[in-house]
Amino acid sequence: MELPKPGEFANCWSLDSNVVFLNHGSFGACPAVIQQRQDAYRRQLESQPVRFLIREMEQQFNTTREKIAAFVNAPLKDLVFVQNATTAVNTVFRSLKFDRGDEIVYTNHIYAACKRVLDYVAETTGAVLVEASFGFPIDHPGKITDAILAKISPKTKIVLIDHISSATALIHPVEEIVGALNERGIDTLIDGAHALGSIPLDLQKINATYYTANCHKWLCAPKSSAILYVRSDKQDGIVPAVISHPGHRASSFTERFYWPGTYDPSAVLAVSDTLDFFSELLPGGFPEAMQKNHELCLAARNLLCERLNIPKPCPDDMIASMATIILPVPSPAVEVDYKSIDPLQETIFRKYHLEVPVWNWSSQGRRLTRISAQRYNSPDQYRYLADVLQKIIEEEQTVLKK
């Protein structure tokens, strides 16, 4: 099978042209010009480390923070950079004080790494984990709200909510959920790992207690750049995962997070350049990119569901630039974890040079795949995916009939 051509902006990325890459959601992909800007920051650092880190970096760092704060409508004093969203979840939960019996509510769509953080907190403090469960497929976002609010009790201390879930790619109605929990005096941490650069964000409007998002995914910044927002009334006691020169008692929340020890700040500094990149790439800048990615994702999902004769598992307005579908093929007998890959995903990659994630999800053991849509993708690439999946499913069904 001949590989399809990528999207019109594919030459702006340095992705392998021999692979059809439909998995932007897992780790993102940084444009070539942003990689060059990051290299320039590294050269600036290594040409005279003391001059750069002590005399020059802070101004550039603060300029970048100002730009990203404006992009998500967050007060500058409430926003800091961290390495990734998992770091932010660790930072919040390991800063908070839990008494035995305090309840932490989360959903069955939680990202696995975040669940591991909650497991650690529960084991070391005696806090109780309470799972709010809702299904996939799902026909209305209100079911997410209902599932979460049904698990709230007088013992609930904090609720961890995805903005866009990883495995199922569902946009959660976070503003509605946060509003209801704020009325009850319950704190919220929103895991927006997939939200920044994928959907418009207004953190002041959402008004969560804590919010984190990766810059390396849909914003397309280099890896090791993410934001953590902490509402001003909750900043006391929130300290970085690494305590360094500013100390945990620094009066300014942002000062506590500025210097984590000697590190490479180039990924964070390049966030500023990434915001500029999309403004130069498209007349409408990031808003246009987000809208076009969304439209491409919807068209791709419609195509796949039609070709594979499967129903759409959620309404169109519950997906952004990623969409998950349920595959009509049995789950593998082997366990797949974060270090391994589903055999079907490996077959698709090795045999057809196509990168899409495949995983089991939920106790029912259903196999899912998730597509992503970024400016380097094209409609032909999803047609190719449909051809590949159709061929594999037909082969699997033939084997099962024997």
Who contacts 358 (Cβ-Cβ below 8 Å, separation ≥6)?
Answer: 327, 341, 342, 344, 345, 348, 367, 368, 369
Average pLDDT over residues 286-290: 96
Residue 399: the pLDDT is 55
pLDDT at 401 over 60: no
Residue 23: the pLDDT is 98
State what percent of residues in the chain have pLDDT above 70. Answer: 97
Residue 365: the pLDDT is 67
Per-residue pLDDT reduced to its tens digit, 14-41: 999 999 999 999 999 999 999 999 999 9
Average pLDDT over residues 249-265: 91
Domains of the chain: 10-22+285-401 (3.90.1150.10), 34-275 (3.40.640.10)
Average pLDDT over residues 337-347: 85
Q: Distance (Å, rounded) from C-alpha 245 to C-alpha 261?
A: 7
Residue 223, burial from CB neighbour count under 10 angstroms (0-12, 13-18, 19+): middle
Residue with tokens 């007998």: 333
Per-residue pLDDT reduced to its tens digit, 180-201: 999 999 999 999 999 999 999 9
Residue 245: the pLDDT is 86
Average pLDDT of the chain to the nearest whole number? 94
Q: Distance (Å, rounded) from C-alpha 273 to C-alpha 40?
A: 12
Who contacts 234 (Cβ-Cβ below 8 Å, separation ≥6)?
Answer: 187, 209, 210
- pLDDT category at 351 given cuts 50, 70, 90 is very high
Average pLDDT over residues 362-386: 91
Residue 250: the pLDDT is 86
User: Per the structure block, which two tokens stand in for 123?
Assistant: 């084991």
User: Per the structure block, which two tokens stand in for 207?
Assistant: 């008004």
- pLDDT category at 138 given cuts 50, 70, 90 is very high
Residue 398: the pLDDT is 65
Average pLDDT over residues 159-169: 97
pLDDT at 164 over 70: yes
* Contact between 367 and 344 (Cβ < 8 Å): yes
pLDDT at 90 over 60: yes
Q: Distance (Å, rounded) from C-alpha 195 to C-alpha 199?
A: 6
Residue 251: the pLDDT is 82
DSSP output for 335-391: ---TTS--HHHHHHHHHH-EE--EEEETTTTEEEEEEE--TT--HHHHHHHHHHHHH
Average pLDDT over residues 132-140: 96
Residue 1: the pLDDT is 79
pTM over 0.85: yes
Residue 89: the pLDDT is 98
φ, ψ (nearest 5 deg) of residue 357: -75, 145
Q: Which residues of 237-275 are buried (b: 16+ CB within 10 A; e: fewer)?
A: ebbbeeeeebeeebeebbebbbbbeeeebbbbbbbbbbb
Average pLDDT over residues 101-123: 97
- pLDDT category at 43 given cuts 50, 70, 90 is very high
Residue 340: the pLDDT is 80
* Contact between 322 and 371 (Cβ < 8 Å): yes
Residue 63: the pLDDT is 96
